[in-house]
Structures are given as C-alpha cells and as structure tokens.
C-alpha cells in the first residue's frame, strides 16, 4: 500500500494541520490501523507547545586584530586562554609579511557561555586594532527543521507498520521506495541539526596578531641607498630617451640642412 503525505511542516502559525491520508484500495493488507494524518497532527501540536518555551538559538562569531611587538610566546598564550575556557584551536597559520613582519592567524572555538570572557582575555594580549562581533539568530530555522524531522520520523514508523502488513511483492517494493525517501530526508535533517548545534554551542573567534610595521624600513638603509639607486635608474632612463630622440631627429636635421643650403644658393645667385 503506498501512502504519500505532506512533509513540509512549517513553523508559520498560519499553517494547517495535514489531513488524514486514506489508504489506496489497491493494497491487499489491513488498513484499520491509526492513519498517518493523526500522528502528524500530534507532532504539529507538540511542536507548537515547544516553540513557546524553547531557548533562542544564536550563532556567535568574532574577529579580532591585535598588534604586539614580541610574538615569541603568542601561540602558547592563546592556547592557555582557550584551554582555560574548555575551547580549542581549530586552525593556526604563521608567516612573515613585508619587512619580515611576523603574523599569526588563529581560528578558535570556545563554548558560547565563555565567549565574552575569552574575548576580553584575548584582547589584553596586545594592542587592540580591530574588533568585530556578530551573531545570527537561527531559532525559527531550527524549530522548523525539528518539526519537519518529527514529521518524517512519524512517516517512517507508519511505513514500517505498513511494510509488516504487506502481502505481495508489489506493495513491498512501493513501501520500501517511499521508506528510503523518508530515511534520506531524515539523515539530511539530522546532519543539519548537528551542524547547527555545533555552531550554537561553540562560538568562533578569528584572531590575527602581528608585529607593528616599522616607521622606517629595516632593509632600506634608512632609504638612502634605495634613493640613490632610484636616482641613478632615472638618470640612465633619461639618457636613453635623449639618445632615442636625437637618433630620430638626425635624418630630419640632415634633410632640413640640405634644403636650407639649396635655398641659400638660389638666393645668393639672384
């Protein structure tokens, strides 16, 4: 027996309760058991009750940029702060920028109830250059996804009951096909909920710590050597331009000289 039901259970308060689904007459097994529509109604009513008391689902993130002259122990200090709040370093990257300036990047995960405290302690490691805080409220999406998941699980249970009552191969194949579809949706929704829970329970802090850029480039010998090199380069470049210019004018100068000489001879003869 193939029973199709609506799976788009919504968080919107204007949604209507799914109608009870009538079994198809082509199936040969007993249909006197409780219909799926009643189970969906119970799921929906339970969900509406839960939405009035459920806590807000907030994803918290922060970006910090610090400057610190001595970075020799920065990884150790960051790790100590994060571990003291039961967090961990998800990713770290170190490199040398312009003028051998040391730069560290950290991606930190911290329990959401320790988020603000950890931010203050991390900010105290150096000079705070930039701070960006943001949060995303996913309460509605979370509740809607939970309701849809309960709906699909109710369908799964009903299809299993129907599968046990099936008496021919055709009915069994039809029910198994629908059962696989329902279970695929269940797995996808459970995966999304796990991802949401991870993002909600563990806030993310992206920390960048770098040495201050020097006022004078240490590799430029106070700029004198580079200035001399640049002046010499410009001088040579200008000489090249003059040579090219003169080389281009010489043929015209020769022609102009010949014409001037001929004009002079003609005027002199007169």
CATH of 58-138+203-210, one of 3.30.1330.10, 3.30.70.260, 1.10.10.60, 1.20.910.10: 3.30.70.260
* Residue pair 178/42 in contact by the 8 Å Cβ criterion: no
Extents of the domains making up the chain? 58-138+203-210, 221-269
Give me the chain's average pLDDT, please. Answer: 80
Q: Check residues 8 and 45 and name the one with the higher pLDDT.
A: 45
Q: Check residues 48 and 201 and name the one with the higher pLDDT.
A: 201
* Residue pair 125/68 in contact by the 8 Å Cβ criterion: yes
Measuring CA to CA, which residue among 270, 41, 254 is closest to residue 147?
A: 41
- Cα(186)–Cα(210) distance, integer angstroms: 46
Residue 10 corresponds to which tokens in the numbers above?
């919504």
Q: Check residues 232 and 148 and name the one with the higher pLDDT.
A: 148
The whole-number pLDDT of residue 243 equals 86
The whole-number pLDDT of residue 248 equals 81
Q: What is the pLDDT of residues 67-81, one digit of tens each?
A: 999 998 999 999 999
Q: What is the pLDDT of residues 241-260, one digit of tens each?
A: 888 887 788 888 888 888 88
- Cα(175)–Cα(247) distance, integer angstroms: 92
Least confident of 9-13, 105-109, 189-193: 9-13
* Residue pair 149/193 in contact by the 8 Å Cβ criterion: yes
pLDDT-derived band at 41, boundaries 50, 70, 90: low
């Amino acid at each position: 027996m193939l029973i199709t039901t609506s799976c788009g259970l919504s968080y919107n308060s204007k949604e209507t309760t799914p109608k009870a689904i009538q079994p198809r007459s082509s199936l040969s097994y007993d249909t006197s058991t409780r219909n799926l529509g009643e189970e969906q109604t119970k799921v929906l009513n339970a969900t509406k009750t839960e939405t009035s008391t459920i806590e807000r689902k907030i994803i918290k993130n922060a970006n910090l940029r610090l400057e610190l002259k001595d970075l020799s122990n920065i990884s150790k200090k960051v790790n100590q702060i994060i571990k003291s709040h039961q967090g961990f370093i998800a990713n770290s990257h170190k490199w040398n920028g312009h003028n051998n300036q040391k730069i560290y990047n950290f991606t930190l995960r911290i329990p959401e109830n320790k988020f603000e405290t950890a931010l203050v302690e991390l900010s105290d490691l150096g000079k705070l250059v930039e701070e960006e805080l943001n949060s995303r409220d996913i309460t509605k999406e979370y509740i809607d996804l939970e309701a849809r998941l309960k709906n699909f699980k109710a369908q799964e249970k009903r299809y299993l009951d129907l599968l046990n009552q099936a008496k021919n191969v055709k009915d069994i194949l039809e029910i198994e096909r629908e059962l696989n579809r329902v279970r695929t949706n269940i797995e996808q929704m459970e995966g999304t909920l796990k991802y949401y829970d991870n993002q909600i329970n563990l806030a993310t802090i992206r920390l960048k710590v770098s040495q201050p850029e020097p006022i004078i480039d240490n590799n430029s010998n106070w700029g004198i050597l580079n200035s001399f090199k640049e002046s010499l380069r410009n001088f040579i470049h200008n000489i090249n331009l003059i040579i090219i210019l003169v080389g281009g004018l010489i043929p015209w100068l020769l022609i102009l000289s010949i014409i001037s000489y001929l004009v002079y001879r003609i005027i002199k003869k007169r």
